[in-house]
Amino acid sequence: MHSAIPRPATFLHSGPLRGTVKVPGDKSISHRAIMLSALAVGESRISGLLEGEDVLATAAAMRAMGAKIERTGEGSWTVQGVGVGGLMQPSAALDMGNSGTSTRLLMGLVSSHRISATFIGDASLSKRPMGRVIDPLSLMGAEFNASPGGTLPLMVRGLVPAIPIRYRLPVASAQVKSAVLLAGLNAPGRTEVVEPIPTRDHSERMLRGFGADLSVELASNGVRHIRLMGEAELKPQNIEVPGDPSSAAFPIVAALITPGSEVTVTHVGMNPTRNGIYKMLEAMGANISYSNEREVGGEPVADITARHSILHGIEVPPEVAPSMIDEFPVFFVAASVARGRTTTSGLDELRVKESDRLALMASGLQAIGAVVTETEDGLLIDGSGGEPLEGGATIKSALDHRIAMSFAVAGQHCYKGITVDDVTPIATSFPSFEIMLMMLKGDDNSSVFPDGSANP
């Protein structure tokens, strides 16, 4: 986990951002690659794995439950799986750090094994709602002992055989969907998740890739029915993890708002359940182009180039939210310097992420001179029309990597720059972020590689 000692950093207005960078591996896919490899029978190899703290927490937990997991090189890992049903009793509490995905997906896995596990996490994770996974996993027979409000620390006792269920998601959440599917892997018979609003489908793609019997039916009303046959035998795989579109959004927005910029991010995952941010930026007039489009490990991938653009405000349809749920903080930064009003709604989920992202983005943007109104479920932003914002404020990152990176990007287009009180949370998803930004600004030296990693 990152240092408990806060590290402030100041991000100043700079000249154009230029260059080609690679962002680290996709966080959602990296978690799932470790988990499913650990449940396969035999050795899987993973390349391009995100070596951020959240994924390392998943790897440590799977090790604690019996999988043999080794790092063989930068982003390259081998995993010796224990087989579905083979997870072992961990001898200590599983420390999930800051990671909601690790917690909720692993709660699913434990639920259908004959083990119990205690989950703990940092101050941010310990406030986040776990009732949304406790509910369906209880129906499958698992027992829970959670802190008040259904939060961490909590204990899960799994049941074998677990009860396969049909579950309609009450909230658009890929984590809840995945928790139920992962529990269903070791339940006898068919587990079905009914998904009224589509969310990221990496679990479905990867489960199939590992040989699980999983089908997806799209009903005429747009509702997805995901059916998984349990007691699956997963076959080991070689997985190449594409770059994270959520991480790529930071250099892309930085380029769009900084006059004279042109930035290319290579090898970025372009799964349609994840690319809402790019679609919405294009709707605002962003000059974004895609090249080298291809498929990698069952996921579409492309190189993305963004050039400085005069953006104009738009109304973001609420149904787009799940496909850009983690990108709203940096999207709000783009909207703050666009021409005209940007309206967002239906974003209640942003209040239960690593921080209350609606409240923190509203107050932080107001503090640097943006015109922002917070509503119950969204923000209304009246952009500066391309003018730099005032800046000069110190922003609290509140254990939220995306808040920290969003204000680092905003600092690009402020007269006085922005100080983020603690940038250490960035290591949860994008350890090379600051080096990448320096390189794009031309402040680098020869010890920085094009992918943003530093020369050791």
Ligand X SMILES: O=C(O)C1=C[C@@H](OP(=O)(O)O)[C@@H](O)[C@H](O)C1
Interacting residues toward ligand PEP by CB under 6 A? 54, 99-101, 326, 353-354, 402, 429
Task: Name which of ligand X, ligand PEP, none residue 173 binds, using a CB cut-off of 5 to 8 Å depending on partner kind.
Answer: ligand X
Considering the complex, what minimum distance in angstroms separates the CB of residue 331 from ligand PEP? 13
Considering the complex, what minimum distance in angstroms separates the CB of residue 252 from ligand X? 18
The verdict on whether residue 184 carries a ligand-binding annotation is no
Between 242 and 411, whose beta carbon lies closer to ligand X? 242
Burial class (CB in 10 A: 0-12, 13-18, 19+), 291: exposed
**Catalytic residue (one of 95, 244, 326, 400):** 326
| Subset of residues 398 to 417 that bind ligand X, contact rule: CB under 6 A | none
**247 near ligand X, judged by CB under 6 A:** no
**102 near ligand X, judged by CB under 6 A:** no
The residue among 22, 66, 65, 64 whose CA lies nearest residue 47 is 22
The verdict on whether residue 353 carries a ligand-binding annotation is yes
Q: Report the amino acid identity of residue 203.
A: S
Q: Which of 101, 355, 397, 432 binds ligand X (CB under 6 A)?
A: 101
Residue 456 CB partners (closer than 8 Å, separation 6+): none
Between 200 and 267, whose beta carbon lies closer to ligand X? 200
The verdict on whether residue 32 carries a ligand-binding annotation is yes
How far is residue 229 from each of residues 164, 173, 192, measured CA to CA in Å?
9, 21, 9
**44 near ligand X, judged by CB under 6 A:** no
Q: Which helix (H) or strand (E) holds 438?
A: helix 433-441
The verdict on whether residue 177 carries a ligand-binding annotation is no
Tokens of 326: 């983690």
Tell me if 164 sits within 8 A of 189, measured CB to CB. yes
Torsion of CA 271, 275, 278, 284, to 10 degrees: 140
CA distance 22 to 453: 9
**325 near ligand X, judged by CB under 6 A:** yes
The residue among 354, 323, 326 whose CA lies nearest residue 103 is 354
Between 192 and 327, whose beta carbon lies closer to ligand PEP? 327
**Residue 400 known to be catalytic:** no
Task: State the CB neighbour count (10 A cutoff) for residue 371.
Answer: 14
Considering the complex, what minimum distance in angstroms separates the CB of residue 165 from ligand X? 18
CA distance 312 to 342: 8
Relative to beta strand 68-73, strand 76-82 is antiparallel
Considering the complex, what minimum distance in angstroms separates the CB of residue 339 from ligand PEP? 28
The verdict on whether residue 351 carries a ligand-binding annotation is no
The verdict on whether residue 235 carries a ligand-binding annotation is no
- State the binding string over 156-195 for ligand X (x if CB under 6 A, else -): -----------------xxx--x-----------------
Tell me if 267 sits within 8 A of 26, measured CB to CB. no
The verdict on whether residue 357 carries a ligand-binding annotation is yes
CA distance 157 to 90: 12
Between 179 and 253, whose beta carbon lies closer to ligand X? 179
Between 52 and 158, whose beta carbon lies closer to ligand PEP? 52
Between 99 and 186, whose beta carbon lies closer to ligand PEP? 99
Tell me if 428 sits within 8 A of 56, measured CB to CB. no
Relative to beta strand 143-147, strand 151-157 is antiparallel
Q: Which of 22, 113, 200, 357 binds ligand X (CB under 6 A)?
A: 200
CA distance 36 to 109: 10
Task: Name which of ligand X, ligand PEP, none residue 429 binds, using a CB cut-off of 5 to 8 Å depending on partner kind.
Answer: ligand PEP
Query: Which residue numbers are catalytic?
Result: 326
Residues that bind ligand X (CB under 6 A): 28, 101, 173-175, 178, 200, 325-326, 349
Give the residue ranges of the annotated binding site.
27-28, 32, 100, 128, 173, 175, 326, 353, 357, 402
